[in-house]
Structure formats: C-alpha cells, structure tokens
Amino acid sequence: MWPTRIRRRITPVADTLVGLDSVWLFGSATRIENPHDIDLLAVYDRDIIAPSEVHLLGDALNEALVDNELGICIILLHRREHLSSRFSAEEDAIQVWP
C-alpha cells in the first residue's frame, strides 16, 4: 500500500529531483497500514548534487510527498554511503523509486 502511494507521488515530479538515485521505504509503513509516520531513505548522486546542497533535494522530495495526516522523515545518503552502510538491507527497506 505505502510503497505504491509513494511511487505514485514521486513519479510525476521525478524529473525535477535532480541527483536523486533511489528512494527506499523503511520502518512501520513497510509492515502496517496505519503507521505513525513515513520513514524514507533517499540516495543521491554527489557528482550531480553537492552535499552542501542536498537539503534542497530533501525539501523537494518532502514537498512531493507531503501528507497532512503523517509526518515524513527523510534520511539522505550519497550512493557510496548507501552501499557501504547496508542501511536498506538492515532495515528491510523497500525500494519505491525508481
């Protein structure tokens, strides 16, 4: 349910999210239909967007996903951090974009 909702919200604005590599859903929204919040991992390409500017990507992603009922928590990692941390595997995250 939530993976599909998030994918539907990201897809129309994906072209504007410059530097975004992938988005992963983790936490309670992967297991239950009525989570308290939405936890996302956004992986970016630091060759395209500088770490000092990545907050703009997070803001744009948050705006695309805004939900009046639930808070959205976004963790931003660049591609190498994501691969070396194994965060998505350890959290049983579900890739929702692309």
Supply the CATH number for residue 61's domain.
3.30.460.10
Strands annotated E in 2-92: 20-26, 37-44, 71-78
Q: 92: which DSSP letter? A: T
Backbone angles phi, psi at 13, to 5 degrees: -110, 5
Q: What is the pLDDT, as a whole number, of residue 18?
A: 93
Q: How many domains does the chain have?
A: 1
pTM, two decimals, is 0.93
Spatial contact of 17 and 61, defined as CB atoms under 8 Å apart: yes
Reported in sequence order, the residue ranges of the chain that DSSP labels E, i.e. its strands, are 20-26, 37-44, 71-78, 94-97
Please classify residue 98 by burial: count the beta carbons closer than 10 Å to its beta carbon, then call 0-12 exposed, 13-18 middle and 19+ buried: exposed
Instruction: Give the model's pLDDT for residue 70.
Output: 83
All residue ranges of the chain with pLDDT < 50 are none
- C-alpha–C-alpha distance, residues 68 and 66, integer Å: 7
pLDDT confidence of residue 68: 59
Domain extent at residue 64: 2-97
